[in-house]
Structure 1
Amino acid sequence: MRTHPPELTCNACSDKPDRIVVLGIGNLLWADEGFGVRCIEALQKRYVFADHVELIDGGTQGLYLIQFVQAADALLIFDAIDYGLAPGELKLVRDEEVPRFMGAKKMSLHQTGFQEVLSLAQLTGGYPKQVLLIGCQPEELEDYGGSLRPIVKAAMQEALTLGLTELTHWGAQPQTREVPLSNREAVTMDELALAAYEAQRPGPESACREGDDRFFPAQVG
């Protein structure tokens, strides 16, 4: 799997931030759009961080996330981004370039809202000193109730490794949990935790995926 530049660590950014925010955005209910939130879920379950680090499931909250962005000295974002790459490929974008990439080819309303958050933070002088976007090219979005496709799910581990390297550079002090968090303690609800969500999803024979033939008959010709 290829990861696209820029380089992971920024040599010009040697100062350790006072407050670090790690943000995953997206919608768990639309297949690969849940990539960012799943990354946050995995980080929280597997690692503990220094007290000045906050992990946030940003979901599709849009402008409601402005307070977290403005309060951060360093911001790490995980999201599914349509870069026009092969499915599952990762691309890293930094600092002032992040808003431009978030709005280059919007996949959903949550990206429109979050691009506005970043732009507002810039206008108000509340833009973090260091920002890193770790974006993954999705394979499938039009699957309501679906989960991550295998190639995107496999990309999570590399994304987490890249994120942990950056967080260590920032002074987040990640440490592996001796006992992983239970689903009830994680940022996602128990029923939406990745394993439960995938296991409990009904099959196509009991839950319509592509439209009900009674109302959406097959096209003729």
Structure 2
Amino acid sequence: MDKKILVLGIGNILWADEGFGVRALEIFHSLYRVPENVSLLDGGTQGLYLVQFVQEADYLLVFDAIDYGLKPGTLKIVEGGEVPKFTGAKKMSLHQTGFQEVLSAADLLGDYPEKLALIGCQPEDLEDWGGPLTQPVRDQLVHAAEIAASILEQWGASCTRREKGEMVEPLLANDIDHASYERPIAAA
């Protein structure tokens, strides 16, 4: 039986670089087809509501904006028992503390993922409410998706690169997709 794998993007797309996790998941979805045992979830800022999804996953891969104290746009991959330390390293938003609690709750309930990986991106700006991703963070979206595909490959879940121009269903019916939300505003 194939392991159940969850690829989770967390963050707030309305708050500049805090949206990295969700936007990276969207890019991953637009670039790759995944096997049936892999689920993609826009976790947004759901916090403890994500516990049931984490409990159901044998393997968990998370995209998130993490303040590692590095140069903005730097990607850092953390795996296994190190992940909870980084999801609570420096509180940047309500969801981040909530996600550390999600991992703790899943552990306490006895349903902690066998494998866990975090693809974190160092944010540049977390103060621009309603603002887009900064350029250093935006520049890492495709690379983060490629890293995720590589991790899934190591976990035995081969992703297939989508054909150029292939139609891709949004993750949610009412997605505020990157292109629509962050499009330039026309001059009045």
Q: TM-score normalised to the size of structure 1?
A: 0.79
Counterpart pick for 2:125 among 137, 140, 146: 140
2:171 to 176, 182, 187: 187
Partner of 2:155: 170
Is it true that 1:30 corresponds to 2:38 in the alignment? no
Distance 1:201 1:68 in 2: 37
Matching of residues 103-122 of structure 1 within 5 Å: 103-122=88-107
1:129-171 per-residue CA deviation (whole Å, 9 max, x = no partner) reads 1000010000001111111101101111221111110111112
Hey, what does 2:36 align to over in structure 1? Answer: 51
CA distance in structure 2 between the partners assigned to 1:91 and 1:108 by the alignment: 19
Contact 1:17 1:73 in 2 (8 A): no
State the partner residue of 1:219.
none
Question: What's the C-alpha RMSD, in Å, of the aligned pairs?
Answer: 1.9
Tell me how far apart the structure 2 counterparts of residues 17 and 108 of structure 1 sit (CA, whole Å). Answer: 34
* 8 Å Cα contact 2:73/2:121 also seen in 1: yes
Alignment of 1:123-134 (within 5 A): 123-134=108-119
Deviation at 1:201, TM superposition (A): 5.0
Q: After superposition, what is the alpha-carbon deviation per residue over 1:68-115, rounded to whole angstroms, capped at 9, x for unaligned? A: 111111100000001111101111111111111111111000001111
1:80 to 62, 65, 90: 65
What per-residue deviation string (whole Å, max 9, x for no partner) do you get for residues 186-212 of structure 1? 125666211111115578xx9xxxxxx
Specify the code of the residue in structure 2 equivalent to 1:165: S
Pairs aligned (count): 187
Name stretches of at least 5 consecutive residues in structure 1 with no aligned partner. Answer: 1-15, 207-221
Q: Which runs of 5+ in 2 are unaligned?
A: none
Structure (1 or 2) with the larger CA radius of gyration: 1
4+ aligned runs moved over 2 Å, structure 1: 177-182, 188-191, 200-203
Tell me the secondary structure at the aligned position of residue 199 of structure 1.
coil
Paired residue type of 2:104: S
Normalising by the residue count of structure 2, what TM-score does the alignment of the two structures yield?
A: 0.92
8 Å CA contact retained: 2:28, 2:142? no
2:82 maps to 97
Q: Given residue 84 of structure 1, which amino acid in structure 2 is its aligned partner?
A: G
